[in-house]
């Protein structure tokens, strides 16, 4: 099972809609997720699919109830929200120290990269205290730069989700 987590309004639901292949236009508006969305994501050939559970940022205090049998987490950070990035790092740290998540793969996703006032990758990683997190992490972290709005980085994220080297551990835990 794969979870999609991150602070409120970081763009999780929007990004999952994009990954699922929903039509994104001006009419697509997301509402804050006060619960869980399930998205069916297909691989690039369209032959295989997997379910991603998108849990609202407002539910962070109870994310831990959904950690059993998790193999992967897509952790979404809003790179345009300077005030939120360091809090996102603290929240990520709380996942890294969770015993049930010790051996998982994490896609650290710097999102909303279409916005001109976003933080650049290196600055965002600095604010997240990434090098410190990485030293302590037992998990494998991979960094992505994405935009649910333009679709940037979305195919790379899809390939990570279906990477044969990591898929086995994720499906074994399904
Ligand atoms: N410019 C830009 N805006 C985005 C992007 N992704 C999401 N947004 C906007 O950010 C807002 C929040 O997006 P959501 O996908 O609902 O955020 P969320 O992380 O699911 O929020 P919660 O469900 O509250 O945890 C919406 O108004 C989106 O239109 C993006 O890549 N670029
Ligand atoms: Mg949401």
Lowest mean pLDDT among 98-102, 123-127, 149-153, 168-172: 168-172
31 vs 103 pLDDT, higher one = 103
> With 50 as the cut, is the pLDDT of residue 174 above it?
no
Distance from Cα 17 to the centre of ligand 2, integer Å: 10
Give the C-alpha separation, 160 to 165, whole Å. 9
Cα radius of gyration rounded to whole Å, the chain: 15
Contacts of 64 (CB under 8 A, 6+ apart): 98
Amino acid 61: pLDDT: 94
Backbone φ and ψ of 43, nearest 5°: -75, 180
Backbone φ and ψ of 16, nearest 5°: -70, -35
What are the Cα distances from residue 147, in Å, to 71, 114, 171?
24, 6, 27
Residue 120 tokens read as: 């650049």
> With 60 as the cut, is the pLDDT of residue 130 above it?
yes
> With 70 as the cut, is the pLDDT of residue 117 above it?
yes
Does any ligand 1 atom lie closer than 6 A to the CB of residue 24? no
Amino acid 167: pLDDT: 59
Residue 5 pairs in a beta bridge with 75
Relative orientation angle of helices 12-20 and 154-161, to the nearest 10 degrees: 80
pLDDT tens digits for 4-61?
A: 999 999 999 999 999 999 887 765 667 899 999 999 999 999 999 999 999 999 999 9
Does any ligand 1 atom lie closer than 6 A to the CB of residue 9? yes
Nearest ligand 1 atom, CA 14: 15
């Amino acid at each position: 099972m794969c979870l999609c987590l991150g602070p409120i309004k970081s763009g999780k639901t929007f990004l999952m809609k994009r990954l699922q292949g929903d039509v994104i236009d001006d009419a697509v508006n997301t509402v804050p997720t006060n619960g869980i969305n399930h998205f069916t994501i297909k691989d690039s050939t369209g032959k295989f699919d997997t379910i991603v559970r998108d849990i609202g940022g407002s539910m962070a205090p109870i994310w831990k109830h959904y950690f059993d049998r998790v193999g992967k987490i897509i952790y979404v950070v809003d790179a345009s929200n300077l005030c939120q990035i360091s809090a996102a790092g603290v929240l990520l740290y709380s996942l890294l120290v969770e015993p049930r998540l010790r051996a998982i793969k994490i896609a650290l996703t710097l999102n909303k990269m279409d916005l001109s006032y976003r933080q650049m990758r290196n600055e965002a990683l600095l604010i997240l205290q990434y090098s410190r997190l990485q030293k302590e992490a037992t998990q494998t972290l991979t960094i992505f730069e994405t935009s649910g709005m333009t679709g940037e980085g979305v195919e790379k994220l899809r390939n990570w989700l279906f990477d044969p080297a990591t898929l086995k551990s994720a499906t074994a835990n399904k």
